[in-house]
Structures are given as structure tokens and as C-alpha cells.
Amino acid sequence: MMATQIKFGTSGWRAVMADEFTFHNVRRAVTGIARYVSSVKPQAARIIVGRDPRFLGESFVELASEVLRSHGIQPLVVAEAAPTPTIAWAIISRQADGGINFTASHNPPEYNGIKFSTPDGAPALPEVTNRIEAEVAAADQAGMAKGNGGGPKREEIEIKSDYLKRLQGVIDFAAIRKAGLKVCFDPLWGAARGYSDELLRANGIAVATVHDYRDVLFGGHAPEPDGHLLNDLRDKMRQSGARIGIATDGDADRFGIVDEDGTYMSPNYVIALLFDYLVASRGWRNGVAKSVATTNLVNALAGHHKVELHETPVGFKYIGELIKQDKIAIGGEESAGLSIRYHVPEKDGVLAGLLCCEMVATLGKSLQEQLRALFAKVGSFYPLRENFRLTDEVKAKFTKRLQAQPREFASKKVAQVVRTDGLKLVLEDGSWVCYRLSGTEPVVRIYTEARSESDLEKLSAAAKQWVFQG
């Protein structure tokens, strides 16, 4: 029987439990990681091993510890479910040699996954994950996928308090308290339970919480902080009189923000608002980063503030590199991931929510009022993301079409063709469309952005037609 190929995508390896995500395959994946770490640091390596609250997480952590020990690596085990950014901060502060995190992030409950972080606390770059995949294959070939149970002693560590202390120094809680801001928090049954709300309460800020218990089925849907899944948060906001709702996904690396009237704020807009706010409140003008699929409102603000713009492929690891080099004040992706200067080079949904609380409290305006002010300053931007499943035949034809150099699109001239990640066509009026094929399923992701809602509707229709034509 052919072994499952273990491939690390934009954010680790993910698969359905009891299908490809099995104890055997987890052992193979961790063996690959252990062999890689041993090749980089042959002696006295230490790896943090953590998890989100998914089913069997504790068992996978113990299995990983056993494999690491058998390769001479000391496992530093996080007993409780912990957010991905908390693990990232622990890797940095404890000077560990990396971290293994069992999580499928915002994926549905039947999934699990492994994220591997390097000693800088950042998601592993492709050159590292390629080497890990090669080590998995080599171990399979040599029949070395089983540990012998020996090696350095497993150590249990507590990482929450250090991370909360870190956020205490990043967020202006006094401003939130002074404004009398009421907050509502939804961890979506995930790893951030007892984080955002605990920190707000400790600073004398009124906060109400929903879904504050472990449920490995995440309420029967994906633990994704998207607008259509935040109705319980909206209800709690109405009951408690909260002026802002903040949410995190399964491993708390993504954020979801709800304005005082229940309106879900697009992550594109949240990133732009926080960028503008950090320039004003912190005076940070060293740069800004966004993925190629993220709103050009960020581009316009970068021009307005005379700040250098970095446009990266999709995958936060590329933004993390710029944070490590102190080239940016903030970096974000439209898929609800961001981090800031002097912080972890990893997405942090807890940080994002608390920063939004500070921004609303300090400016004294709702998020939609702030967005209207941004539009008045640099013009309006309306982004949209859509996913479409493709038949094999349509996918084959469309893949060929992606190599084209169209001069016109949606009856407008193409001003720029960008191939940073997929195909992005920037049109003469500043609107754009970006196509990215999924690496794991027959799906095309279509990102469009126009300067008015009516133009967005037309551009979206043209973008879809371009996929399925001829």
C-alpha cells in the first residue's frame, strides 16, 4: 500500500482525521521534523509541542514527544490548548529550536494538522518544509518511522502568562478602560479561551464571552470567525451593550471583528484601519506589508503616509520575514491574519482584536465611521473573495489560460500583470482581479476589488465568466 504523501501547504500539513491524519502518518511527519531539526542542531535541541482543543490533541502531543525523544530532542510540552501566537512567543522567549503545533486552524472539526515553526517563532518557509518532506520520504525508505522511547526527559511548560504579559505591554488598556468600552469576545470554542477576556477583565474592562467551553465539534461547523458564524456574538453584544465584538478561530491566529451595530468588518478593512491607526498612534513609518490578494486600500494609505509598501505571495511566513527584519509596522492578509512591529512573526488573532478595542476606544468612533473617514482621505475600495469548484476539464483549460497576458479585461485596459502568486490583473481604473488555484482541491479562488459597489458587481461577474469561458 502506497504511503500518504505528507505535504506542507501555506500553513502546515492538514488532513481529515482517521483518513490521512492518522497516528501512523503523524509519526511519519514528526519523524521528518525530528530528522530535520537534528540535522540543523545535532545536540541538545529543544522543541515546544502544543495543540488546539481538537479531538485527540493530547494523544498526538504525547506521540510527538515520544518521537522527538527517540531522536535526542527534548520536548517542551504545553499541557493546555494554546493559541498559535502564544506558542510562537514561547519559542522566541525560551530560545527553543522550533515548535510543533497540532492544529487545523479554522478548518472544520474533522480535520487536524501540524504547523512547524522555526527558532524565530515564524511559520517554516518553503525551503524548510521541503527538507522536512524529503526527510519523511527518507525515513520511510529506511524504515525509521518508529521511535524507541528513549532520549531526553519530557518537560511540561506553562506559556500563557508570559504571552499575556507581552500583550499587556503592547495594548493601551488604560485607554480602553478610560473610554468605558464594553467588549464581547467569542473564542469559538478554540485555543483562545481565557485569553482576550481574561486580559480585559484584569485591566478593569467590562467583557462578555460566548462559547467559553471545550467542544471538539466547534458547534458543528468550522471554527472560523467569519460574519455568518458570529450570530451568537451579535446576540451577546446586544444583551451586554458591547460596542465591539472580537472573535478568534480554532488556534487564534485569525480574527473576526463585529462593529457596534452588528456589522461584520471585512479583514481587508480591519488591516487598513489598524495600519492607519498605528502610524498615527505609534508613529511607525517603517513600512507595511500585504499579500497580493489583500485590498489596495493599504496601497493607497501607504502612498498617503509615504510609507514603503511590500506586496507578498499568500502565506503569512512571507510577512513574518519582514517583521523579523523590522521592515514593517504591520502586515496582514485578507484571510484575517495580521501581526505588528516588535511582535511575533506569526498571525495573531488575539492581538488583532485587542488592538481594535484600543482603536475604537481612543478614536471614539465606530469602525464604520472610521472606514468612511479613510475613504474620504484616499478613496473608496470594495473587495470580494469567491471560491469556485472546477471540473478536471475546466481546471485544465483554465490553468493554461492563467499563462496568458491579457491586454483587456471586463472592457477595461490591463495596466499591470502581477505574478507574485497566481495571476493578478490591475486595470486602468485601479480595480483588479486575482486568480489563485488551490494546491489541495479543484478550487479557484477569485479576488476582485473595485472603486464602487456597482463596479465590483460587474467585475466579479466578468471574473467568473473568464474562468468558465471556452
Residues 390 and 316 in one domain: no
The per-residue pLDDT for 441 is: 75
93 shares a domain with 21: yes
- 113 SS3 class: strand
Q: What's the predicted TM-score (pTM) here?
A: 0.95
Question: Are the C-beta atoms of 38 and 140 separated by less than 8 Å?
Answer: no
Residue 141 forms part of a structural domain: yes
Say whether both 358 and 386 belong to one domain: no
Distance, CA of 196 to chain centre:
17
Sequence-distant (6+) residues with CB within 8 A of 401 are 466
Among residues 101, 126, 159, the one where a domain terminates is 159
Assess whether 271 and 320 both reside in one domain.
yes
Our count of domains for the chain comes to 3
pLDDT band at 144 (very low <50, low <70, confident <90, very high): low
Residue 112 belongs to what domain range?
Answer: 13-159
Predicted confidence (pLDDT) per residue in 382-413, tens digit: 999 999 999 989 999 999 989 988 999 999 99
Task: For residue 128, tell me if it sits in a domain.
Answer: yes
> What nine digits make up the cell of 81?
490548548
**SS3 for 364?**
coil
Same domain, 419 and 436: yes
Residue 35 confidence (pLDDT): 97
Residue 327 maps to a domain: yes
Q: Are residues 127 and 251 in the same domain?
A: no
Task: Say how far apart CA 336 and CA 267 lie, in whole Å.
Answer: 5
Cell numbers given for 24? 501512523
User: Does residue 4 register a pLDDT over 90?
Assistant: no
Task: Show the cell assigned to 101.
Answer: 503545533
Residue 89 phi, psi (nearest 5):
-65, -35
Query: Does residue 23 sit in the same domain as residue 155?
Result: yes
Which one-letter amino acid corresponds to residue 114?
I
Q: Is 421 helix (H, G, I), strand (E, B) or coil?
A: coil
C-alpha to C-alpha distance for 234 and 305, rounded to whole angstroms: 34
Residue 4 domain flag: no
Question: Are 298 and 404 in the same domain?
Answer: no
Query: Domain with 204 in it: what CATH number?
Result: 3.40.120.10
Same domain, 367 and 431: no
Instruction: Tell whether 70 is covered by a domain.
Output: yes
Higher-pLDDT residue of 144 and 134 is 134
Residues 69 and 185 in one domain: no
Write the CB contacts of 130 (distance below 8 Å, at least 6 apart in sequence). Answer: none
H-assigned helices in 250-391: 267-282, 297-305, 316-324, 349-363, 367-378
Q: Is residue 262 part of a domain?
A: yes
Which of 348, 378, 408 is the last residue before a domain boundary? 378
Q: Is residue 6 part of a domain?
A: no
Task: Please indicate, yes or no, if residue 1 is contained in any of the structural domains.
Answer: no
Q: Which of 95, 126, 159 is the last residue of a domain?
A: 159
State pLDDT tens for residues 90-115: 999 999 999 999 999 999 999 999 99
Residue located via cell numbers 477583565: 201
Segment 201-218, tens digit of pLDDT: 999 999 999 999 999 999
**R_g of the chain, CA atoms, integer Å:** 22
The band of 469, judged by pLDDT with boundaries at 50, 70 and 90, is: confident
What CATH number is given to the structural domain containing 390?
3.30.310.50
pLDDT at 429 (0 to 100): 93
User: If residue 388 lies in a helix (H) or strand (E), which one and from where to where?
Assistant: strand 382-389
Same domain membership, residue 417 and residue 386: yes
226 with 323, same domain: the answer is yes
Q: What's the full length of the chain, in residues? A: 470
**323, 345 contact by CB (below 8 A):** yes
